[in-house]
């Protein structure tokens, strides 16, 4: 069986407000811009992207579970669930796909409660603080992992 040439792009709660919510922290780019950036980066490497954003944890879990059927990896910005969701971490671990964790801001330099990521130990790629362009970096590095050109 050949590896699918598709990535699941997951954006968690409140990322639908990119460009509006706290632009001094997250910038003025929108979720549509993020999806275009990730899609363009993937397309340049021969991959496609299926994007999902939800403010509901269960919808994100369902999308992650479904990815094991037709995706080669997952790029995720769990947003606030980064710091709170063991079940999201377990879903990512359970599907056994390579994961890239991306954050628009650098969570290591944010408030103390934002500095812990439940996703960090299951992600092979970590990109923080590059703004929305970090999505392109995450896609490119994850594809390198999938292609066997990097360890993560």
Contact at 8 Å (CB) between 126 and 101? Answer: yes
- Is 26 a known active-site residue? yes
Of the candidates 103, 118, 126, 135, the residue annotated as catalytic is: 103
- Judge whether 85 is annotated as a binding position: no
> Known binder of ligand: residue 77?
yes
Residues 6+ away with beta carbon under 8 Å from 131: 27, 29, 104
Could you give the CA distance from residue 131 to residue 133 in angstroms, rounded to a whole number? 5
Is residue 90 a known part of a binding site?
yes
**Per-residue pLDDT tens digits for 69-83:** 999 999 999 999 999
DSSP 81: G
For residue 135, indicate whether it is catalytic. no
Query: What would the DSSP string read from start to end of 6-22?
Result: EEEEEE-TTGGGTTTS-
Is 105 assigned to a binding site? yes
* pTM attached to this predicted model: 0.93
Q: What is the pLDDT of residue 1?
A: 53
pLDDT digits (tens, 9 = 90+) for 21-65: 877 777 789 999 999 999 999 999 999 999 999 999 999 999 999
User: What structural domains does the chain harbor?
Assistant: 6-146 (3.40.50.9100)
If we measure between CA atoms, which residue out of 18, 8, 24 comes closest to residue 76?
Answer: 8
* Residue 120, both tokens: 């960090």
Higher model confidence: residue 149 or residue 5? 5
Asked whether 9 and 51 are in contact (CB, 8 A), the reply is yes
């Amino acid at each position: 069986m050949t590896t699918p040439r598709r990535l699941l792009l997951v954006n968690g709660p409140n990322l639908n407000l990119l460009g509006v919510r706290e632009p001094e922290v997250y910038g003025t780019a929108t979720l549509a811009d993020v999806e275009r950036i990730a899609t363009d980066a993937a397309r340049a490497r021969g991959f496609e992207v299926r994007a999902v954003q939800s403010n509901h944890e269960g919808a994100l879990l369902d999308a992650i579970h479904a990815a094991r059927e037709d995706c080669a990896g997952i790029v995720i910005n769990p947003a606030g669930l980064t710091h709170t969701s063991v079940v999201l971490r377990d879903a990512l671990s359970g599907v056994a796909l390579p994961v890239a964790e991306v954050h628009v801001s650098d969570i290591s330099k944010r408030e103390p409660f934002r500095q812990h990521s439940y996703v960090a130990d299951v992600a092979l790629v970590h990109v923080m603080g590059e703004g929305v362009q970090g999505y392109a970096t995450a896609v490119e590095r994850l594809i390198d992992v999938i292609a066997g050109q990097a360890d993560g």
